[in-house]
Amino acid sequence: MCTPAGHTTRDAVFGEGLLSEGGVREARAARATLPPYSLAVRAPSIRCAETAGALGLEATLEPALRDFDYGTWHGRTVGEVVADDPYRYAAWLTDPDAAPPGGESVRRLCRRTAHWLSSVSPDMGRALVITEPAIVRASLVHALCAPATAFWQFEVPPLSAVSLTLRGGRWHVQPGRLTPVRAGTTRAVPMPCDAAQDQRVLLRGEAASDEQYDLIARV
């Protein structure tokens, strides 16, 4: 489950941030839609703790699910970073090995997330995970065996969902509808995703279904 907060405007601040009143209301409204789960886990940020609280959950803190290390960008707005260092910011959005000064690259974050997913116990059962948009994207990169360059193409709206099911040693993905988009392109490539019923890591409160979904990638 993706936290209601997200870095989507020039006024958004890199790093820790409180949920807005609207975000808290949205999370509370989502309580009734939570699926059955045996374990609730959350990222260590304040907004993830607030999201868990608004959902009425007692979630276990998992440091590996932390957001990007933004280095010297931490606490600054997107607009300030773009104004001061537009080339480095553009490189971070296009080159998975580029990073904020003193911070973390997309590739490193994807490896960290993949390591956590690989360490999930086979008998965990159903876990509801409240985390950052970046971790949801990195989880999709790993589960779909996608290149790190696909990271920013996944749209992760506030409170969006993705269900990852470990079956036969492989992760299977069941989004509701998640559309990775690359600006200026139009050709859609369907990518079948298995809707599975075995143990799963649920990255949003959405009921499990036997229906098969397609993940549409615009390339």
The pLDDT value recorded for residue 217 is 33
Question: Alpha-carbon distance 132 to 119, whole Å?
Answer: 19
Cβ-based burial of 15 (10 A; exposed 0-12, middle 13-18, buried ≥19)? middle
What are the mean pLDDT values of the chain's consecutive 10-residue runs (219 residues total)?
64 78 83 83 91 90 94 91 94 95 96 92 84 93 94 87 85 63 34 32 39 31
Question: Alpha-carbon distance 210 to 195, whole Å?
Answer: 6
Question: Alpha-carbon distance 185 to 134, whole Å?
Answer: 23
The pLDDT value recorded for residue 111 is 96
pTM higher than the cut 0.85:
no
In Å, how far are 20, 61, 174 from 46, measured between CA atoms?
A: 12, 11, 28
- Angle in degrees, CA 216, 191, 170, rounded to 5: 130
The pLDDT value recorded for residue 18 is 77
Specify the 3-state DSSP secondary structure of 61: strand
The pLDDT value recorded for residue 205 is 35
In the DSSP assignment, the letter for residue 13 is B
Assess contact for 30 and 7: CB atoms under 8 A. Answer: no
